[in-house]
Chain A
Amino acid sequence: MPTASDPHHWLDNYGDALYRYAMLRLRDSMLAEDLVQDTLLAAMQARYAGQSSERTWLIGILKHKIVDHLRKARRERPLGDDIDAAADQTADLFDQHGHWRIDISQWSDPDKALEQKEFWRIFRECLGHLPPRMGDALMMRELDGMSTEEICQELAIDTTNNMWVILSRARLRMRQCLDTNWFHRQREDKA
């Protein structure tokens, strides 16, 4: 039988996790602190149904607050900027016939990487190096499980086709970043 939990207990146990999640998504510490507080206040009003862990439940509330914020932010700062500006760094990766100009090296035992602390640090840093709105789009897709149509709406991206291009570039850049900073080093260590 789940009992109403004390908000102080939430803050002590999940405050850091909520804050890190908000920082991952918003990259702004003051804003992240505010949203942690809003999340806990909202949680006090809501009722914990005990279907998921408390942590998951609280992160779920926070996710809603983050998407609300991103929606408002794009109204205040409509379109333009980094997705286009970052235009196509990935274009150099192909020659004029569309063949890979780089070697797509094999990644040895990638699932083992998921067990390693250092891998997660690098993974997070690679996400942080994406142009902000490209990162927002990728995280809405992979962390929030939003459909490309929903993401287009939230980020005011005009066509689903553009959305697919943005996600494709985001993934290619993530691939390159992880290859350089993790898998390549693993290969060298072995050699």
Chain B
Amino acid sequence: MMVSCKEVSQLVSRSLDHPLPISERLVVHMHLMVCKLCSRYRRQLHFLQRAARRLPEHLDETAMPPLSDEAKQRIRADLDADKENS
């Protein structure tokens, strides 16, 4: 059975979310044996998933602004108010 790179790219992505049925796994496997671009693409998607999972540990390195001082003060006051009420 012939599948296109476009279909394989979708199946490779799907395999990251859900195990593929054996027939589709076979089709992908055969295609990857002869297609250098799709093989690279598959490796790169696996890398993307690994990186995405580690992003939360690296948020301080992303140049995103921190919580502003005003917001910190406001939250601090609200925490105190809540403590007194409880």
Contacts and interface: CB of A to CB of B under 8 A. Distances in A.
Nearest to B41: A104
The secondary structure that dominates the B interface is helix
A155 interface: no
Interface residues of B, number: 47
A144 to B, nearest CB: 10
B79 A104 contact: no
B5 to A, nearest CB: 5
Contact of B59 (A24, A164, A171, A178): A24
Interface residues on A, range: 35 or more
The secondary structure that dominates the A interface is helix
Contact of B64 (A24, A110, A117): A24
A93 B79 CA distance: 51
B61 A117 contact: yes
Interface string B43-85: 1110111111111101111111011000110111011001100
21 contacts: A8-B79, A11-B79, A20-B59, A20-B60, A20-B64, A21-B59, A33-B67, A37-B79, A44-B82, A100-B38, A107-B43, A111-B47, A114-B54, A123-B51, A124-B59, A127-B52, A142-B52, A164-B10, A168-B9, A172-B13, A174-B48
